[in-house]
Amino acid sequence: MKITDYTEVANVYDENRYRFEEVQTDTELENFIKQNPRSSYNVLDLACGTGIYLHYQATNFNDVQIQWHGLDASMDMLHKAKERLKGVSLEHGLAEEMPYEEESMNFILNNYAFHHFTEKEQVLDEIQRVLKKEGVYKLHNIDIHGMKNWWIYHYFPSAYREDLKRFWTKELIFAELDRRGFNVKIDCNYQMKKVKVADYLDHVKNRDISVLTLLDDKEYAEGLDRIIYDLNRNSDKEIINDFSELICVAQKI
């Protein structure tokens, strides 16, 4: 499978406004704290990127004693995170070899990143090792197997073939966590609707969406040309778009 080079993406990553607009208070973490009262918590954002999610959560949970941790494989992304975050322990490293002691974390967040891990089974082994008993691992991602009409696949057909190599099915995610003794629950929120193509042109030009970086320049240019062609013919062009959001909450037994 191909791997996104976040050295190239880091400088444009935060220019995608949706990365900020879509962040909300993490309700699973909120519920965990309510159901497991204690004096303090260790929370890890696994593949924390530029720290957008961590910054929002740290701000909204400032009345709870939480030691926030962030781990990412890209030093360039971490440089951005360090500029944004204060009072957060940031580490450069791989999810397959986390630099944390056994049973040191109460909660592990993993947002839109599991598909990037090359050795996914090893990552799950590390999550099991690092989590405390009754700790929670939350995996939040898209379910590409349930969204074949995503706008990106419409204009960049080879992107779907690349994503099939990177994304596990929800059945496989469930099975692998269950095999490791986790109590697993997976919810998928699916929607299909028409969307305006013009709303996504800037995303394509920014090329911060990981699968677009995996396409060669010729494929990328051809997809961009198709979008521009459609908009030149009809600036209000709409296409059918489907989207499936996956949230997996797994508690270590």
Tens-digit pLDDT profile for residues 114-166: 999 999 999 999 999 999 999 999 999 999 999 999 999 999 999 999 999 99
CB half-sphere exposure, 137, CA atoms < 13 A = 28
Q: Pick left, alpha or beta for residue 225 (phi over 0 → left; psi -120 to 50 → alpha; otherwise beta).
A: alpha
pLDDT of residue 81: 97
pLDDT of residue 17: 79
Q: Is the pLDDT of residue 18 over 90?
A: no
What band does 10 get if pLDDT is binned at 50, 70 and 90? Answer: confident
Rounded to an integer, the average pLDDT of 218-235 is 98
Contact between 209 and 203 under an 8 Å Cβ cutoff? The reply is yes
Q: Is the pLDDT of residue 21 over 90?
A: no
pLDDT single digits (tens) 84-104: 999 999 999 999 999 999 999
pLDDT of residue 182: 98
Give the 3-state secondary structure of residue 166.
helix
Backbone angles phi, psi at 218, to 5 degrees: -65, -45
Closest to 57 in 3D by CA, of 16, 85, 18, 99 = 85
Nearest-angstrom CA–CA distance, 132 and 128: 8
The residue with tokens 């941790």 is 69
Q: Which residue has the higher pLDDT, 9 or 220?
A: 220
pLDDT of residue 111: 96
pLDDT of residue 59: 94
What band does 181 get if pLDDT is binned at 50, 70 and 90? Answer: very high
Residue 195 burial class via C-beta count within 10 angstroms: exposed 0-12, middle 13-18, buried 19 and up: middle
- Domain spanning 6-252: which CATH class is it, in words? alpha beta
Task: Tell me the residue length of the chain.
Answer: 253
Crossing angle for the helix pair 6-13 and 75-84, to the nearest 10 degrees: 30
Closest to 197 in 3D by CA, of 147, 161, 234 = 234
What band does 11 get if pLDDT is binned at 50, 70 and 90? Answer: confident
Nearest-angstrom CA–CA distance, 158 and 212: 10
Nearest-angstrom CA–CA distance, 135 and 38: 13
Does this model's pTM top 0.85? My answer is: yes
Q: Considering the chain, what is the average pLDDT of its residues?
A: 96
